[in-house]
Amino acid sequence: MNYYERYYYRYSSADDATKAESRKHWEEVHAENLNSGRQDLICFSAMILKMINLADGKLVQNCPRYIVNRVVRNIAHYRLGLYDAFNEAIRAFCNKVNQKMRIAFLSGDYREYIPSAYLPEYLDFEKYPLHESF
């Protein structure tokens, strides 16, 4: 388990006040790193903020915990993007997920589970419905 995963689990188990303080701290650190221009520090703080968003349920929604944990592992260890990490997690647990997730895997349409990976104009589910034809 690397540093990012450990931070994810520590943040997940913290109380709400500590989470709010930690989020504020890392947002300030990330802003300072952006101003400094050092790429290594920018990547580090961006990854920590990504772990915070994953733990808060802002990036991956409506999923079992084992899928989210696998997504965290894929992002932290293999540096995959959110879409690729989620796709691999669904593929790895294909026999455990429900039919709706299987359909999303086959069609590659994860809007319901990772809406942040899509452009906002295409998140209108009435205009662009999820595939139900399988």
Helices (H), the chain: 3-12, 16-36, 39-55, 65-78, 82-92, 99-107
Question: What is the band of 117 on the pLDDT scale with cuts at 50, 70, 90?
Answer: confident
Average pLDDT, the chain: 87
pLDDT in tens, 33-58: 999 999 999 999 999 999 998 998 88
For CA atoms 98, 104, 70, 120, the dihedral sign is negative
pLDDT value for 8: 92
Instruction: Name the pTM for this structure.
Output: 0.78
The whole-angstrom separation of Cα 27 and Cα 2 is 21
- Point out the least confidently predicted range of 33-42, 44-53, 64-73, 118-127: 118-127
Res 59 pLDDT > 90: no
The pLDDT of 19-45, averaged and rounded, is: 94
User: Measuring CA to CA, which residue among 51, 58, 61, 59 is closest to residue 101?
Assistant: 61
pLDDT value for 89: 94
